[in-house]
Amino acid sequence: MNCVTPPGAVLRWAAWYVPDPEVTSEELATRLGIDVADIVHRTGIHARRWAPPEQSTATLGALAAQRLFKETGIDPSTVDRVLLSTTSPDMAFPSTACLVQHALGLRGGGAMDVFASCTGFLAALSMARAAIRTGDARRVLVISADVKSRFLDLRDPSTAILFGDGAGAALVDADPHGTLAGGRVGPITLRTDGSRWAYVHMPAGGSRKPLTHATVAAGEHSLKMDGIPLFRTAVSRFSEIVRAELERGGIGMDDVACFVFHQANLRILEAVAKRLGISRERICTTLERYGNTSSASLPITLGAALAEGRLQAGDTALLATFGGGLTWGACCLEWRGGEVLP
């Protein structure tokens, strides 16, 4: 009997794109009639980007991918699968991944959306890893993109101050010989508690409550959030899954070079850091200038950490996230040295 060892999956690089229009917390404070100091204190966000009318989720996703290919020198035509995480698709169907595939000039291969809220990047990364290890794909483009600004009630301070638009993209390659530069993707833990779906959701627009004049008038096509229970559950689940992921890998808290967490708001990040007993500085952040970019926040923050040189050969990064559903997840990347080459 021949035993074949499945190839490893390596995240080669991550890049991101955010739209140009910046919306400062000062602007939102004036619009909402609240104190800017209160916004910054509650969220840690000084600015966020909101896409202009001519840009959509597919636009941002394609631009992030184009930047990724430019930075790595990798030929887009070598991609044999596109996975795109979003909860703000361009339209109900076809999938936004199909639109991005077309925008990138790709032909053939699979392209599909992954709908897992802020946990979407790890869900898509898990699918990419599985496809590579089973031999179904050799190079997977994983994109997370969201334009949440189109689904905000700008009269609701609890949500209007939090969200920004953006996209992050990562290339995941088969590594049969264990020689590729990048981050070896370990097993990915994904968890769900569907009983708490109402903590963050958009009531109308689906088959349960289709679009009508009444649903529009009631503001049911904007994001709704029950902040206090969501905060408590996020801090608890975040902390639990980080500890569980480290225990599964036999890794100590001090062995992690940087923690790349979903950029929900600063108070969640600070509460998680306190529970885990780690300094706030060990958590990479992009929250201050981009806000909560939903599932895109993980690849955006990972890409920023790589660009800043926060991961060196032999380092471990721990990725963890939490979002609507409720969903949450974590995984470790073992970073290898060397130049990322096509």
Q: Among 180, 200, 230, give the residue marking a domain's end.
A: 180
Asked if residue 15 is part of any domain, the answer here is yes
Question: What is the average per-residue pLDDT within 285-301?
Answer: 96
Of 140, 162, 180, the residue at which a domain comes to its end is 180
Residues 25 and 168 in one domain: yes
d(CA 296, CA 142): 11
What are the DSSP calls for 54-109, one per residue?
Answer: T--HHHHHHHHHHHHHHHH---GGG--EEEEE-SS-SSSSS-HHHHHHHHTT--SS
What's residue 6's pLDDT? 83
What confidence score (pLDDT) does residue 342 get? 59
Residues 32, 151: one domain? yes
Average pLDDT, the chain: 93
> Is residue 281 domain-resident?
yes
Catalytic residue among 258, 284, 292, 332: 292
> In angstroms, what CA-CA distances link 218 with 2, 88, 215?
63, 20, 5
The predicted structure's pLDDT at residue 339? 61
Q: In the numeric block, which tokens belong to residue 45?
A: 């966000």
Of 180, 202, 232, the one marking the end of a domain is 180
Domain annotation covers residue 2: no
| Residue 188 C-alpha from the chain's centroid | 14
> Considering the domain boundaries, does residue 1 fall inside one?
no
Q: Supply the pLDDT for residue 76.
A: 94
Residue 265 is among the residues annotated as catalytic for this protein: no
> Are 156 and 140 found together in one domain?
yes
Q: With 80 as the cut, is the pLDDT of residue 147 above it? A: yes
Q: Is the pLDDT of residue 184 over 70?
A: yes
Tell the residue number behind the tokens 């909101």, with chain if given.
Answer: 50
Confidence of residue 336 (pLDDT cuts 50, 70, 90): confident
118 catalytic per annotation: yes
DSSP 211-240: --HHHHHTTTTS-EE-HHHHHHHHHHHHHH
Q: Within a 10 A sphere around the Cβ of 281, how many other Cβ atoms?
A: 9
Per-residue pLDDT tens digits for 251-287 = 999 999 999 999 999 999 999 999 999 998 899 999 9
- Assess whether 191 and 114 both reside in one domain: no
- Residue 32 is assigned to a structural domain of this protein: yes
**Is pTM, for the whole model, over 0.75?**
yes
Instruction: Look at residue 341 in the predicted model and tell me its pLDDT.
Output: 57
- pLDDT on residue 3: 58
165 shares a domain with 193: no
Same domain, 309 and 206: yes
Fill in the amino acid letter for 221. H
Amino acid 332: pLDDT = 96
Is 127's pLDDT higher than 90? yes
Examine the domain organization and report whether 104 and 13 are in the same domain: yes
- Are residue 104 and residue 75 in the same domain, yes or no? yes
Is 262 annotated as catalytic?
A: yes
pLDDT of residue 1: 46
CATH of the domain at 213: 3.40.47.10
Q: What is the pLDDT of residue 300?
A: 98
> Can you give the pLDDT at residue 220?
87
331 in any annotated domain? yes
Tell me how far apart the alpha carbons of residues 242 and 53 are, in angstroms, rounded to a whole number: 38
Instruction: Tell me the per-residue pLDDT of 1-36, one tens digit each, with 9 for 90 and over.
Output: 455 678 899 999 999 999 999 999 999 999 999 999
Are residue 147 and residue 207 in the same domain, yes or no?
no
- Considering its fold, how many domains does the chain have in total? 2
Q: Which long-range contacts (CB under 8 A, 24 or more apart) does 124-129 make?
A: 124/83, 124/84, 124/85, 125/11, 125/170, 125/172, 125/185, 125/188, 125/331, 126/188, 126/190, 126/329, 126/331, 127/83, 128/9, 128/81, 128/83, 128/172, 128/185, 129/9, 129/172, 129/185, 129/188
Residue 39 has pLDDT above 80, yes or no: yes
Range of the domain at 37: 8-180
pLDDT surpasses 60 at 162: yes
**Which of 118, 258, 284, 331 is an active site residue?**
118
**pLDDT for the residue 177:** 87
Task: Say if residue 169 is in the same domain as residue 189.
Answer: no
Are both 196 and 325 inside the same structural domain?
A: yes
Say how far residue 183 (Cα) sits from the centre of its chain: 17
Residues 286, 163, single domain; the answer is no
pLDDT on residue 174: 95
How far is it, in rounded angstroms, from Cα 335 to Cα 342? 17
The one catalytic residue in 262, 265, 331, 332 is: 262
